[in-house]
Every structure is written in structure tokens, then in C-alpha cells.
Amino acid sequence: MHEDYVTITETAESNGITRQAVYLSIKNGRLKAEKVGVQWLMHKDDVKHYRENRYSRKESKRSTGELLHDPSKGEYSVHQLSKMSGTSIQRIYYLIREGFLKAERIRSAWVIKIDDVSDVRALLDSMYK
């Protein structure tokens, strides 16, 4: 039985994440696990499924399978907007939080439409001079 199962540590190492992230994924139901004695065990197939469907900021997908941040459709992430505008990520988050920049929250990602970023550079220049 145990040869088809892996531990929390093995799962974390094979996925390049922390043990805490594995525990959170189990708690949130994103990763199936069984507690055997004092140890959590995950079936290798469940870990593979988790790896294939894990959230990635670079490849964030909507429930329809479309990319969340698709520049060809005029949709950008905070990181993409930061690079485009030459300002820090923290400033972009500040603008969103304070209402200067409109953004839509989809799951755990912010999506910013191109129509809403056209004046960001001018706004940043006027705010931080």
C-alpha cells in the first residue's frame, strides 16, 4: 500500500513548494490525503493531479480554461502592468487599494483591463514627483 503513497515532505519537494503549502492544500480540499497514524499520506495519482491543476500566477486560468491575464485581449496582471509602466508592484497594489486604478479580483489574482491602465503612467508621474 505505502509504495503508491508519498508523505508531506516528499510532496513538497517534488512540487517545489513548502510543507506548509501542502498542509494548506489538504485543508482547503485541493489535495486529497489520508492520515495514517500520525502521518499524512497522499496517493501518487492525487499528487500528480494536484501538480497539473495547481494555481500558477503565470498561467492563471479562469474556470472556462481561458488565461486570466491575456494581453492579446487587453487583460494584465499586476506584475505585467508593473513591467509595462516601469513602476513597482507595491505602487500598483496601492493604486488598486486606494481606488485610483480599477481592477477585477478573480480568485486570488487581480485582472486589470487595458482601458483602465491607459492613464496609469500619467497618474504615477503626477503622484510621485
pLDDT, position 10: 94
Q: Which CATH architecture has domain 2-53?
A: Orthogonal Bundle (1.10)
Q: What is the pLDDT of residues 114-124, one digit of tens each?
A: 877 766 766 76
Q: What is the reported pTM?
A: 0.48
- The domain locations on the chain are 2-53, 71-127
Dihedral over Cα of 20, 26, 32, 34: its sign: positive
DSSP 2-14: GGGEEEHHHHHHH
Query: Which architecture characterizes domain 71-127 according to CATH?
Result: Orthogonal Bundle (1.10)
Q: What pLDDT digit, counting tens, does each position of 22-70 carry?
A: 998 898 888 999 999 999 999 999 999 888 777 555 555 555 555 567 7
